[in-house]
Amino acid sequence: MNGNVRHAARVIRTVLATIRTEQAAAVAHALDSARLLVDPERSFGVVLHRTPDGGWSRTGRPVTELERQALTWDASCERARHAARAIERDLDTHPGPHAVRVEGDRVRVRLRVDGPAQWARWRSYFGIAIVGERTEPHALTGEGERDGVRVTVVALSASAVPPESTTGEEARRFRIGETLYDLALPMRDRCGGVWYFEGRRSGDGMPLVALDGRPERCSLANVAAYLGPLSSVRPDGDGTGCDPTGILSALPVSHVLPNAAVPRTSADVPDLWARVDVSETGVRPDVPRPRVTMPILADPRTASDLAEQEQEQVPVPVPVQEQVQEQVQEQEQAREPVGPPHRPAWAEPFGPLVPSVPSAGPAGSVR
């Protein structure tokens, strides 16, 4: 407890001799709670600083280079915010659209300029010393300094800034170079992709378009530069809009397959694959598989056609036919088992077969 409370209570009781001791103590505690009495024994603590070796010290260590850079950056960002607020107040009296944005330790200003005289006044106000043209038409950029803060100014002429009385259809149009794009309609690139404008723009006013409704957005200038030329997709005759699915379904699709040569097999040439075994899945390996031989169908052509084709056909040399037959015979011999076929016990309906000729076993003859 504060040691001055009792002393304050005695002073109060002495001054006000008519009150009781409890009342004087209550008044003294009220003064102490209101922090009107100083406690001589109270300790306000000691500030300790961490040393590089992990200990503690009463004296502060010097500021490192990284901390100094961080403090300098924070101070420059704070100056940029103060400068942006001052520029915003000055631009409130400027007739025309404008925008002020803080980008770290810099300020970016976008405003409308109606003529050379007005642009000269803004150059003097922002201290613009470097002026360069932008890729966006009817726009100039300037680099200056205001109140010790670097300022980037984007000045748009009256032709680039749409007036406030423009209709919705005019506001949805955007010009890049000599091409005027209608943002209200989908745009198809040279690869067939359809791009849609969903009302989003970049910081400099460039429309951002999305491919087939995807979340990724690209600037209209980049799409026109790398995938152009872009053509507007007009709605159908009934006035309904065309989405990407409708556009793809409306493209012409050929329903006629290209003419392909029909393979024909001559009846005079022997079918080399007729005598080859056809393996079927799901057959037990210990059961001999049957050999499937496809029958030769009758040729529907007439006898005169066959006679003409026989005359036109080039005869196959005899050695080639003999060589083909020898190869087929070698394949058949390789497929046939060398030993006697194995017949399991379950393949006999009446049990395993017993030889009728007596055979001699290890213990003698068995009948």
Q: What is the gyration radius of the CA atoms in the chain, in angstroms? A: 50
Domain membership flag for residue 173: yes
pLDDT in tens, 304-338: 555 565 555 555 455 556 777 787 788 777 666 55
H/E stretch holding 79: helix 65-91
Are 95 and 152 contained in the same domain?
Answer: yes
Q: Which of 37-41, 187-191, 212-216, 272-276 has the lowest mean pLDDT?
A: 272-276
Domain count across the chain = 3
Q: Which domain holds residue 205?
A: 168-247
Higher pLDDT among residues 298 and 205, named by residue: 205
Q: Please tell me the distance from the alpha carbon of residue 193 to that of residue 244, in angstroms, as a whole number.
A: 8
Percent of the chain having pLDDT more than 90?
4
Tell me the pLDDT tens digit for each residue of 115-129: 788 888 888 888 887
Are the CB atoms for 131 and 142 separated by under 8 Å?
yes
Q: What is the pTM of this model?
A: 0.33
Find tokens 């709605």 and name the residue.
235
Domain assignment present for 211: yes
For residue 300, the SS3 value is: coil
Q: Residue 112 falls within a domain, yes or no?
A: yes
Q: What is the CATH number of the domain that holds 101?
A: 3.30.460
Under the banding of pLDDT at 50, 70 and 90, the label for residue 237 is: very low
